């Protein structure tokens, strides 16, 4: 029987995402100057105020206030009428030294035996319904907000947009689990106060349908056939959305874990990513399981897969690895047998995850908005600045867990 499935996304200006981006900017700066930094940094943003808290073990000293202001400015909170402004907001830091009790369980004399930074389970998911092996509803939800942010920054076709926004896409699937059409699109975007409410709402809806949607269809031609004349559009359905961002809603690091991963498809272990260095398996193992899942599907082992790994704090070897192929496996093996082979192909001890995916590099700011998964791997050059110090320029690989560099190894291991 045909069914509907929905995923949502939030923009870089959403208060929770502002918090995520500040936390990850701090991670990047610590790692740029001390690759062995251990960091767990939480951020709270509200009207005119940023609060930083967390634990750090590092040999470097940062101007955390300046880093936070640069992030806020880049997002677009640069006007006093937003009630949250990069130049004038207050920033309070309550960051302190990491607990020695926790650290002794992570650091080892032999790096290969580095223990997991916490207990817990992490999941990676992949499906062949999109070119980037991501769930389609989430992919479209992200795309809508990326293009909306592009329109805001261009300030050409639409001039009233503000940074805060949310999207949601509902897809209709056929009996054989194939997406056939878009049933509904929800977009709530913050905007300037530029007239009577009814007129503002009418213009915003008209602009988004006539300007944003055609841009999506042109930029993502592989999805153009899913758009139709019967889509239900809910554009700013609660009415005007002038008050937004951290002034309209307090933001916290780690509150958008489903937006960050698979939009409700697969499963989630509950751990957030932003603000955590890669010794925290909540982050590194979630990336590693995505890497496994994507390479399994790309190798033709299955059409859809969920990979679970679990850890005990301070212990290097995972307590379990499990692979679920949802009955789509192309090899004559049970999911349990597939799991055992996967365990031999991918070393899931924390140190080896860090090395395989090059995670002790300043690569995290780019992950903190529009999803950690499904992104395009690329090599970039970044520059960091210490207080009263010389700039440091580094070249790093972004989104290494999205590389299809294990496809041949998977094919060999499974005889595909």
Q: How far apart are CA 53 and CA 63, in angstroms?
A: 14
Q: How far apart are CA 397 and CA 89, in angstroms?
A: 33
Nearest to 293 by CA among 130, 126, 121, 127: 126
**Domain final residue, candidates 244, 261, 291:** 244
Q: Per the annotation, does 119 bind a ligand? A: no
Pairing of strands 90-97, 49-57: parallel
Q: For the residues 43-54, what does the mean pLDDT come to?
A: 97
Look at residue 177 and tell me if it is in a domain.
yes
Residues 124 and 149 in one domain: no
Look at residue 88 and tell me if it is in a domain.
no
Residue 391, domain CATH: 3.30.300.10
According to the model, what pLDDT value does residue 115 have?
84
Residues 210 and 298 in one domain: no
Q: Per the annotation, does 178 bind a ligand? A: no
According to the model, what pLDDT value does residue 390 have?
80
Q: Per the annotation, does 241 bind a ligand? A: yes
Pairing of strands 179-191, 251-252: unpaired
Residues 230 and 325 in one domain: no
Q: Per the annotation, does 225 bind a ligand? A: no
- C-alpha angle 237/240/243, rounded to 5°? 120
Q: Per the annotation, does 164 bind a ligand? A: yes
Residue 407: pLDDT band with limits 50, 70, 90: very high
Look at residue 99 and tell me if it is in a domain.
no
Residue 104: pLDDT band with limits 50, 70, 90: low
Q: For the residues 120-126, what does the mean pLDDT come to?
A: 97
Q: Per the annotation, does 346 bind a ligand? A: no
Look at residue 189 and tell me if it is in a domain.
yes
Q: For the residues 241-254, what does the mean pLDDT come to?
A: 97
Residues 223 and 286 in one domain: no
Residues 285 and 328 in one domain: yes
Q: State what percent of residues in the chain have pLDDT above 70.
A: 97
**Domain final residue, candidates 201, 225, 244:** 244
The per-residue pLDDT for range 250-284, each reduced to its tens digit, is 999 999 999 999 999 999 999 999 999 999 999 99
How many other β-carbons are positioned within 10 Å of the β-carbon of residue 367? 23
According to the model, what pLDDT value does residue 106 have?
61
Q: Per the annotation, does 81 bind a ligand? A: no
Residues 182 and 295 in one domain: no
**To the nearest whole number, what is the mean pLDDT of the chain?**
95
Look at residue 234 and tell me if it is in a domain.
yes
Full domain range(s) for residue 395: 120-128+278-414
Looking at the predicted structure, is the pLDDT value of residue 399 above 60?
yes
How far is CA 411 from its chain centroid?
29
Q: For the residues 87-113, what does the mean pLDDT come to?
A: 74
Q: Per the annotation, does 308 bind a ligand? A: no
**Domain final residue, candidates 223, 244, 265:** 244
Q: Per the annotation, does 256 bind a ligand? A: yes
Residues 405 and 284 in one domain: yes
Residue 117: pLDDT band with limits 50, 70, 90: confident
Q: How far apart are CA 45 and CA 89, in angstroms?
A: 10
Q: Per the annotation, does 283 bind a ligand? A: no
Q: Per the annotation, does 290 bind a ligand? A: no
Look at residue 386 and tell me if it is in a domain.
yes
Q: Per the annotation, does 403 bind a ligand? A: no
How many other β-carbons are positioned within 10 Å of the β-carbon of residue 272? 21
Residues 334 and 389 in one domain: yes
How far is CA 324 from its chain centroid?
23
Looking at the predicted structure, is the pLDDT value of residue 120 above 60?
yes
Looking at the predicted structure, is the pLDDT value of residue 108 above 90?
no
Q: Per the annotation, does 255 bind a ligand? A: yes
Look at residue 36 and tell me if it is in a domain.
no
Q: How far apart are CA 353 and CA 346, in angstroms?
A: 9
Q: How far apart are CA 236 and CA 154, in angstroms?
A: 21
The per-residue pLDDT for range 286-324, each reduced to its tens digit, is 999 999 999 999 999 999 999 999 999 999 999 999 999
What's the structural domain count of the chain?
2
Q: Per the annotation, does 280 bind a ligand? A: yes
């Amino acid at each position: 029987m045909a069914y509907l499935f929905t995923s949502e996304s939030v923009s870089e200006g959403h208060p929770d995402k502002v918090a995520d981006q500040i936390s990850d900017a701090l991670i990047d700066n610590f790692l740029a100057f001390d690759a062995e930094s251990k960091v767990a940094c939480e951020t709270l943003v509200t009207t005119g105020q940023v609060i930083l808290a967390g634990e750090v073990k590092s040999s470097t000293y940062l101007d955390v206030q300046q880093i936070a202001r640069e992030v806020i400015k880049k997002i677009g909170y640069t006007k006093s009428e937003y009630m949250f402004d990069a130049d004038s907001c207050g920033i309070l830091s309550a960051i302190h030294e990491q607990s020695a009790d926790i650290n002794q369980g992570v650091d080892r004399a032999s790096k290969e035996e580095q223990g997991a930074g916490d207990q817990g389970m992490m999941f990676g998911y992949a499906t062949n319904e999109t070119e980037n092996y991501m769930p389609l509803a989430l992919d479209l939800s992200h795309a809508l907000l990326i293009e909306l942010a592009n329109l805001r920054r261009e300030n050409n076709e639409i001039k009233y947009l503000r940074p805060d926004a949310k999207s949601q896409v509902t897809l209709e699937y056929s009996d054989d689990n194939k997406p056939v059409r878009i049933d509904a699109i929800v977009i709530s975007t913050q905007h300037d106060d530029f007239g009577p409410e009814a007129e503002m709402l009418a213009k915003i809806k008209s602009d988004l349908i006539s300007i944003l949607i055609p841009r999506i269809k042109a930029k993502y031609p592989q999805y153009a056939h899913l758009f139709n004349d019967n889509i239900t559009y809910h554009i700013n359905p609660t009415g005007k959305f002038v008050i937004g961002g951290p002034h309209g809603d307090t933001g916290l690091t780690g509150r958008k874990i489903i937006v960050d991963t698979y939009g409700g498809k697969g499963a989630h272990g509950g751990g957030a990513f932003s603000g955590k260095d890669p010794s925290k398996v909540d982050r590194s193992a979630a990336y590693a399981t995505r890497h496994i899942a994507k390479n399994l599907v790309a190798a033709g082992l299955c059409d859809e897969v969920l990979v679970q790994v679990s850890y005990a704090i301070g212990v290097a070897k995972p307590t379990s690895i499990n692979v679920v192929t949802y009955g789509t496996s192309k090899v004559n093996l049970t999911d349990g047998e597939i799991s055992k082979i996967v365990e031999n192909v991918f070393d899931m001890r924390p140190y080896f995850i860090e090395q395989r995916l090059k995670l002790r590099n300043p690569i995290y700011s780019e992950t903190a908005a529009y999803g950690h998964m499904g992104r395009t791997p690329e090599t970039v050059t970044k520059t960091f600045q210490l207080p009263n110090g010389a700039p440091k320029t580094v070249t790093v690989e972004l989104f290494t867990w999205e590389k299809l560099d294990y496809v041949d190894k998977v094919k060999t291991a499974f005889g595909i």
